[in-house]
Chains A and B, each alone.
Chain A
Amino acid sequence: MTRSLIYSIFFHLIIISLTILSLPFMTRQPIDLPPIVSVELIQISDVTNIPYAPKARKIIEEVKKEEKRVVSEQAPPAAKAKEKPDRIPLPNKEDEIKKIVKKKQNPEEIKPQIRQSSEFEKKEIIDTNEIAALIDKAKEEQFVNERNSKKLTQSKVKNSFATGLSLSEEDALRAQIFGCWSVPLGLPYDDNLLVRIKLELKKDGTIKRSEILDHERMNRPGQKFYKILAESALRAVRLCQPLKVPPTGYENWRNIQLNFDPTEMLKG
């Protein structure tokens, strides 16, 4: 009797825990999405862009006066600003500064839209700067990280669990592709303009394999526009690579499907 009871309790617990964690109808329990999005974006931009960007831009302009290439909006983040007092007065350090700026100026990687997704950028920038420049920033970041972790609600955990990407990661990826996608203009607004592209990604975000899921539609009569649309979507993905993917959880985002649909945009 006791043994049966223990078995029963044990299996019930397993069932309940699995249900809570994974069943679709459970994962779609009331999720208050809008507040989560806004909270995240405000935190990121507050910390990374607003307080330090102008100073950092100033430094870059001084250092890079002779170079005419456009400096990314995202290149001068918070970490840069802290360099100023230590580095500017030392003339023999100029070359070093130049190198750092150059690294961030890599035109292949500059995507203005990524401003929203500065989580990733922030990490890169921290790695490339001197520790002294990070001392002040570290406190702030620690505070921000703590604040973030406190605000990580259950609904957000569920979302991450369900999609493999957090909302900010998904937004970052979306914003990156927005910037690369040149939408063809001669598309019929009233037709189905959904192009689904399945990607297999490498760990660094480059594309290993791409596949248009409805490719047979390209050859159907009256669907000439679909081929042009699908090509433009593929072009966007290739142009954008390496895609901005999280540094961890490769198995979660290794295979990803992008659903391109410009209907809303074209209808205005």
Chain B
Amino acid sequence: MKKIIILIIFFLSFSKLNALIEVDITRGNLDPLPIAISPLHVDIKSELIDGLKVKDLGGDISKIIEKNFKSTGLFNPLKKDAFVQKPDIAHLKPRFEDWRLIKAQALVTGKIIISDGKLKVEFRLWDLTASKEMLALAFTTTPTNWRRVAHIISDKIYERLTGEDGYFDTRVIYVAESGPKNQRVKKLAIMDQDGANTKYLTLGNELVLTPRFNPSNQLVTYLSYFRNLPRVYLLDIETGTQEVVGNFPGMTFAPRFSPDGKKIIMSFAKDGNSDIYTMDLDTRVVERITEHSSIDTSPSYSPDGNYICFNSDRSGLQQIYVMKSDGSNVKRITFGDGIYGTPVWSPRGDLIAFTKVRKGRFYIGVMRSDGSGERLLTENFYQEAPSWSPNGRVLVFYRETKSGPKGEGFSAKLWSIDITGYNERKISTETDASDPSWSSLLSK
């Protein structure tokens, strides 16, 4: 009996002695990931296709990918001077040890082939620490689409390395402004998210306001004044066709699509009282959502379409409220000092972006959908109208500079900032710009 007991005890002690050491790692760093983006290898030395120099395309595409990654603040694209392998060999299989020497953790290589007047772009993403390929894809398109290919490649790499969708193959629609402050000409304009390929969609004869993308396709709704009457328009940016959705009485504000794109939600004043309404785009039936003596404006749907956030002055000062999509269960979610406005629900559903005014300063911030965790990301003299990137990581908004007594020195520009608040960037536009709206991914 004793022997058995001893054996058991020995067994227990032995198993304990050989227990595997476990170390919990609960923190990491958020430093930008060092990534090397090698110019894409081009077989053809000099050939013009559709007015493009094919031999330059490899470098041009890699430059766009590099610029995209740099703009995220999450990646640190390494300088090409430090590269240890030329693209003509790198696209086959890189020498991992050499790339590790320059402290790169990931490497992008690829090559360009032209056949039958089509552009074929192959690329590979390599994990340099594990010495293995992470991703390999190829795209075929018309040569003039090379910029889009660069954005699509950027999206694929971003997705593979971060686990969330990219936002590079997207566009931003905004109001392009020109002329003196008291006689501004406002046109609708659209550009790629990096500021390239600007196109003007209206002539500037009429005042245009608040363009908003349909989350599911390339349709835009916006407000325009025709003979001093507000009209809500639908614009298909692929075909250029425009359609009047309806004339609405009094002051009308900020039409915005529902997540399924079947309805438009907006606010307008009826009998002197501004409330929130929806319009079914198929039946054109208008439905009243809020009925309150206060001013309710700026409605925005949650991505699942079950809730609406909006701002209202029903408690005295303008604050943000959330309600069910049928208008029931209205709940105030902001209680801080200051005025809150332009709430926009994140495409991920977790956050609401807003503009806050306190002591004469304007802030762009985010908070959880229950109003908790308010974070003010940026502060300035005048800024508003945040709009989310399709992956819910970046906000675009516009900022105005203070003008002199005669309106001099005034300008309005688009800016972007990510939800950490650390990566604020000015987006270059041809003219002054306001009221931006970010599209969904074009290639999805």
A15-B5, A174-B24 known; A228 and B160 CB under 8 Å? yes
Interface residues of B in 127-156 (CB under 8 A from A): 127, 129-130, 134
Residues A14-37 near B (CB distance < 8 A):
14-15, 18-19, 21-24, 27
Structural contact, B30 and A182, CB atoms closer than 8 A: yes
Query: Nearest Cβ in chain A — how far from B162, in angstroms?
Result: 5
Partner of B21, one of A21, A164, A236, A265: A164
* A236 CA to B31 CA, complexed, in Å: 13
Q: Does B12 contact A (CB under 8 A)?
A: yes
Q: How far is the CB of B77 from chain A (nearest CB, A)?
A: 15
> Which parts of B22-58 form the interface with A (CB within 8 Å)?
22-31, 33
Query: 0/1 per residue, B393-419, Cβ < 8 Å to A?
Result: 100000000000000000000000000
Contact: B25 with A186, CB < 8 Å? no
Q: How far is the CA of A229 from the CA of B28 in the complex (A)?
A: 12
Interface residue? A183 (CB, 8 A): yes
Whether A229 contacts B163 by the Cβ 8 Å rule is: yes
Determine whether B285 belongs to the interface, using a CB cutoff of 8 Å to chain A: no
Give the CA-CA distance A257 to B28 in the complex, in Å.
17
Residues of chain A within 8 A (CB-CB) of B33 are: 182
Say which residue of B13, B25, B130 sits within 8 Å of A261 (CB atoms).
B25
Cβ of B162 and Cβ of A184 under 8 Å apart? yes
CA gap between A14 and B13 in the complex, in Å: 12
Are B163 and A187 in contact (CB-based, < 8 A)? yes
Task: Give the contacting residue for A22; candidates B5, B12, B27, B161; CB below 8 A.
Answer: B12
Cα distance A239–B19 when bound, in Å?
26
Q: List chain B residues, Cβ under 8 A from A27.
A: 16
Known: A186-B164, A238-B129, A238-B130. A162 touches B19 (CB 8 A): yes
A11 contacts chain B at the CB level, 8 A cutoff:
yes
Q: Decide yes or no whether A173 CB sits under 8 A from chain B.
A: yes
Q: For A182, what are the chain B residues with a Cβ–Cβ distance below 8 Å? A: 28-31, 33, 105
The answer for the CA separation of A224 and B134 in the assembled complex, in Å, is 13
Question: What residues of chain B lie closer than 8 Å to A23, measured between beta carbons?
Answer: 12-13, 16
**Least Cβ–Cβ distance between B82 and chain A, in angstroms:** 14
Whether the Cβ atoms of B22 and A259 lie closer than 8 Å is yes
Interchain CB contact under 8 A, B28 and A183: yes
Instruction: State whether A11 and B129 are in contact (beta carbons under 8 Å apart), knowing that A165-B21, A182-B33 are contacts in the complex.
Output: no
Q: Which residue of B lies closest to A21 (CB)?
A: B13
Complex CA–CA separation, A24 to B23 (angstroms): 18
Selected from A162, A180, A183, A229, the residue in CB contact (under 8 A) with B30 is A183
| Given A184-B162, A187-B163, A259-B23: A18 touches B10 (CB 8 Å cut-off) | yes
CB-CB under 8 A for A224 and B163, given A15-B5, A21-B13, A252-B21: yes
Q: Are B23 and A258 neighbours in the complex by a CB distance under 8 Å?
A: yes
Q: Contacts A184-B161, A234-B130; is A257 near B25 (CB within 8 Å)?
A: no
The majority secondary structure among interface residues of chain B is: mixed
A88 at the interface (CB under 8 A from B): no
Of residues 81 through 106 on chain B, the ones whose CB sits less than 8 Å from some CB of chain A are 103, 105
Bits for B1-20, please: 1 = Cβ < 8 Å to A, else 0.
01001100110110011011
Q: Decide if B12 touches A257 in the complex (CB within 8 Å).
A: no
**Across the interface, do B9 and A185 meet the contact criterion of CB distance under 8 Å?**
no
Partner of A185, one of B10, B13, B19, B162: B162
Interface string of A25-58 (1 = CB under 8 A from B): 0010000000000000000000000000000000
Interchain CA distance A24-B9 in the complex, whole Å? 12
Cβ A253 vs Cβ B21 within 8 A: yes
Chain A residues 167 to 211 lying within 8 A of chain B, measured CB to CB, are 170, 173-174, 177-187, 198
Among candidates A178, A229, A235, residue contacting B105 with C-beta atoms closer than 8 Å: A235
Q: Does A264 contact B (CB under 8 A)?
A: yes
Partner of B17, one of A22, A165, A177: A22
Q: Do A173 and B26 touch (CB < 8 A)?
A: no
A231 within 8 A of B: yes
A132-176 vs B, CB cutoff 8 Å, 1 = contact: the mask equals: 000000000000000000000000000000111100001001100
Closest-by-CB residue of A relative to B31 is A182
In the complex the two chains form, what is the Cα distance from A18 to B393 in whole Å?
Answer: 56
Interchain CB contact (< 8 A) of B28 among A18, A19, A265: A265
Q: How far is the CB of A107 from chain B (nearest CB, A)?
A: 8
In the A-B complex, the 9 residue pairs with the smallest Cβ-Cβ separation, listed nearest first, are A186-B164, A181-B28, A186-B163, A22-B13, A183-B28, A228-B163, A238-B129, A225-B163, A186-B162
21 pairs of residues in contact across A and B, judged by CB atoms under 8 Å? A14-B6, A15-B5, A18-B12, A23-B16, A107-B103, A163-B19, A174-B24, A182-B105, A183-B28, A185-B163, A185-B164, A224-B163, A228-B163, A234-B130, A236-B28, A238-B130, A252-B21, A258-B22, A261-B24, A262-B28, A265-B28
Other A-B contacts than A183-B28, A256-B23, 20 sampled, CB-CB below 8 A, are: A15-B9, A18-B12, A18-B13, A22-B16, A22-B17, A163-B21, A165-B23, A173-B23, A178-B28, A181-B27, A183-B29, A184-B163, A185-B162, A186-B162, A186-B165, A225-B163, A238-B130, A257-B21, A259-B23, A260-B25
